[in-house]
Structure 1
């Protein structure tokens, strides 16, 4: 008699609007899989009214939230962020004690995810990390990402270069897979708003020139440096009074609230052609990419999603420095004149034509999420799979030649 398969508990952690959108189709496939009991832990910005209470969108999409981890303090100082990480570790300990997942899926590099993975390591839960191996030199998230990689056991990266980097960090090639960026799947599966529906949802009529602005704090900068960067951007945008500008608020990193206040004041002063949203949600965000002329800011979506739409993107400052860039990205310094030159170039017909057939470093998407899910199931339901054996990692050494630099005291 064939042995009956026991359902496996696969737990997904999400702490932000953007991350949920990237995980959506992985969650969707597992939610409809008879062999899987999908567990969802929401935390971070999802639980904050200030950031739109976006856990409600998860529930509206038909998902049952298994556990809520409250961890954000109502402050954007470095002290508050550090304390939030500690609260998160405590909260995830309670969550794992109750849920007892067989596998934990996390994505990206945020401090909420660092808290989750720290707790999972103590609970000896195998961790699946998505979007490892990337570099963002202007953010402390860069360190978080690599730390999460080293505490994880299965890795799904977005490009072959990132796969090599994860292996370079000592992860076995047998555990590192490149199926592309899962968030791109939504581009092909969404039921898009038409323009009038989108305009009604956004609260603004689009015009001949439309900008989407997503500008996050640079966490290696001081508050003063971040404020100056925002002011330089807003001074540049004043030069486009005829443009319709849709702002999204920053994430919950240090100094985010201070930056949001500057954005809100600018929108209030320019309400005839500007709006601001705490969260657009994944659907509205992708729909908007079809209608805007330029994406402006320092968001990873300029590198991953925007190129699929052949959308020019002005990448400001050093936050995303180190990511693989497509030809549609124009990087510039966080100074008004540099930003203006970049926007003007992005608006030019010549530049738009030059990116029509651009290469897509992260792929086009379509079934990336399904490939990830199928591969995880093949691992979980392998008769030889043992969580206790799986978490015993060995460092994978590369044959490399390291130049010895001698140090002489003079």
Structure 2
């Protein structure tokens, strides 16, 4: 059975890696990787292939700019050629980026079974491009693998047949379990002159937070507030970096005392910093899950989350604001010794990829 696994952005590589590794164990399965190019520079993609032991992609489509529509359409046009050349038995997509939807659409139109890993997540906010991608991908997928009970409930409400839905756990956690020890060998904190549990790790990249000057200025005010009390490490996403420059905020950011700005990090480097942080402040979906597993306190600066288990069970605190006066007491409570006590969600045990492949083999081989 020939499977085309789609990757496009950083989170995709982390999720596909454990599934590809399990595919490789079976002689009657052929796993090929298609990289759409959505994240294309070395720090945003190349280093992830090296660190996650992924082979170089069998196909690189090179679609990495333009609007959401242009990017989705460009990927579709190029991936259609791959489908015609490879004639796969299955297309596997993960997550919720434009690459996910684009390749799922092409496969569905070509009558190739679509497998969606990390299905059923919903924020309830259709202003988010990812929410549209999630809903549409799930509606045309043949098999849907979910990470938490809320995702099962969402899919059933959308009238997805129960036999298509499989609660198998979280492949993002599979990679974390596999590489945590290796990441712990790095000396990132020492290189930054930071002690374990003595700093805040921060990431911000969502358009709602960094694509307009008002919200980006609010983010900067939060950084100033936090850095006044505890060191802040801030790996800058290319979008955030571009907008800081576009809005003339570069000098202001560079003058913040206690702030260490870094370029985008490899998977192992970021995992190391996350595992040793006193607190993570983010707007990332995957970071909410990783901090929950690591039992590291997390503050998420978004109106909603598509991963409610991280709030209900895990260490995530969802703050629907960019007001520093609201963020400050939440931060002080956590750093002052009163963090939220979380636990690891059901089936987040490092074996999700094994369960996914076992189900696919049962259904298709």
Please classify the TM superposition score into its range, dividing by the shorter chain length.
Answer: 0.7 to 0.9
Trace 1:9-408 onto structure 2 (pairs within 5 A).
9-48=2-41, 52=43, 54-55=45-46, 57-58=48-49, 61-73=53-65, 80-136=67-123, 137=125, 139-190=128-179, 191-194=181-184, 197-199=187-189, 204-207=192-195, 209-218=198-207, 223-224=211-212, 227-239=213-225, 240-241=227-228, 243-250=230-237, 257-258=242-243, 268-270=254-256, 273-278=259-264, 280-318=265-303, 320=305, 323-324=308-309, 325=311, 326-332=313-319, 333-351=321-339, 354-355=340-341, 358-361=342-345, 363-381=347-365
Residue 233 to residue 179, structure 1, CA distance change in 2 (3 Å): same
Residue-by-residue CA offset, 1:271-318 (whole Å, 9 max, x unaligned)? 86402222x233222222220111102111343121111111111122
Q: Check conservation: 2:202, 2:281, Cα contact below 8 A.
A: yes
Residue 222 to residue 264, structure 1, CA distance change in 2 (3 Å): closer
Question: What is aligned with 1:390?
Answer: none
Residue 133 to residue 241, structure 1, CA distance change in 2 (3 Å): same
Q: Give the deviation of 1:213 after TM superposition.
A: 1.1
3-state SS of paired residue (2:338): helix
RMSD: 2.7
Distance 2:74 2:187 in 1: 40
3-state SS of paired residue (1:162): helix
Q: Check conservation: 2:230, 2:258, Cα contact below 8 A.
A: no
What's the TM-score, normalizing by structure 1? 0.78
Q: Give the deviation of 1:119 after TM superposition.
A: 1.0
Distance 1:320 1:35 in 2: 39
Q: Give the deviation of 1:373 after TM superposition.
A: 1.1
Distance 2:12 2:245 in 1: 20
Residue-by-residue CA offset, 1:368-410 (whole Å, 9 max, x unaligned)? 11111111112221xxxxxxxxxxxxxxxxxxxxxxxxxxxxx
Q: Give the deviation of 1:365 after TM superposition.
A: 1.9
Residue 243 to residue 222, structure 1, CA distance change in 2 (3 Å): closer
Distance 1:125 1:104 in 2: 7
Distance 1:12 1:22 in 2: 10
Residue 337 to residue 296, structure 1, CA distance change in 2 (3 Å): same
Q: Check conservation: 2:36, 2:60, Cα contact below 8 A.
A: yes
Distance 1:54 1:13 in 2: 13
Distance 2:241 2:119 in 1: 24
* More helix as a share of residues: 2
> How many corresponding residue pairs?
355
Distance 1:261 1:363 in 2: 43
3-state SS of paired residue (2:261): strand
Q: Give the deviation of 1:125 after TM superposition.
A: 1.0
Residue 195 to residue 188, structure 1, CA distance change in 2 (3 Å): closer
Residue-by-residue CA offset, 1:10-35 (whole Å, 9 max, x unaligned)? 11101111221122211111133322
Q: Give the deviation of 1:113 after TM superposition.
A: 1.3
Q: Check conservation: 1:106, 1:127, Cα contact below 8 A.
A: yes
3-state SS of paired residue (2:187): helix
Distance 1:53 1:104 in 2: 23
Larger gyration radius, structure 1 or structure 2: 1
Q: Give the deviation of 1:223 after TM superposition.
A: 4.0
